[in-house]
Amino acid sequence: MPEGDTVWRTAHHLHEALAGTELIRTDFRVPAFATVDLSGDVVDEVVSHGKHLMIRTPTHSIHSHLKMEGAWHVQRLETPWRRPGHSARAVLTNAEWQAIGYSLGILEVIARDDEDSVIGHLGPDLLGPGWDLDQAVARTSADPGRPVFLALLDQRNLAGFGNEYVNELLFLMGLLPTRPVGEVPDLRRVISRGQRMLDVNKSRVERSFTGSTRSGEDRWVYSRERARCRRCGTRLLNGQLGDRPTAERNTFWCPHCQT
């Protein structure tokens, strides 16, 4: 599942392949931007902010969000694509590499000066160079009655956590997903722990929360419904939590280890 670490790593690979090079072909396969041609532009940089990607030229930004299914692949010219062509939403080509964006949840080309219109609402980037823990704590604690699970998932508070990270983080910190954020004893410590988890995982494909990258051993609670807690042996529980019925997210917890 793409979360902040996946998007950071994707931006890193795209930056290595595209930054400082001229685009010789661009192909945007969404109706609103199908006629946009950025060939001849030089890519300045590729950056992430939480789960958002920005491929920047001097005048434009190619903004994308992977959502659940999306991915960017970077590969040599003339090599076969690794996903069906009909799922490609963007193709960027320079003299050596091609970057193909598949099944992107969001793809748009905007003026570089307009970036705030798409990412200005986001909280501090957990993996960004300007990570601001104080601001993240202030934003996350602004609604003390809100369940901590939802407060940490809210990208307006801090950008980069997804469902898997928040479930695993709350287990490690011994907190029920429904605990009001105002009753969390040390929210600063919770967020700091989560930021370190993202930072450790950002450079490896096999994400792990337990210390093991072996399949089936890498998570404490996430997607382990009906399994037993690795610490105490209690049967794990799962449910859904959201601010509204159409936005409920899956929760997993140990009723003994989390209070």
Sort residue 185 into left (φ over 0), alpha (ψ -120 to 50) or beta: alpha
Give the domain ranges of the chain. 4-119, 133-253
pLDDT at 122 over 90: yes
Nearest to 97 by CA among 124, 78, 71: 78
Site of tokens 């939590």: 241
More confident residue, 172 or 225: 172
pTM of the full structure:
0.94
pLDDT score, position 243: 85
How far apart, in whole angstroms, are the C-alpha atoms of residue 76 and residue 93?
A: 10
| Amino acid identity, position 118 | V
| Amino acid identity, position 172 | L
Q: Of 19-23, 39-43, 215-219, 249-253, where does mean pLDDT reach its minimum? A: 215-219
How far apart, in whole angstroms, are the C-alpha atoms of residue 68 and residue 105?
A: 8
CATH of 4-119, picked from 3.30.499.10, 3.90.1150.10, 3.20.190.10, 3.40.430.10, is 3.20.190.10
At the topology level of CATH, where does 133-253 sit?
Answer: Helicase, Ruva Protein; domain 3 (1.10.8)
* Active centre residues (catalytic): 2-3, 51
Specify which residues 101 forms β-bridges with.
Answer: 72, 90
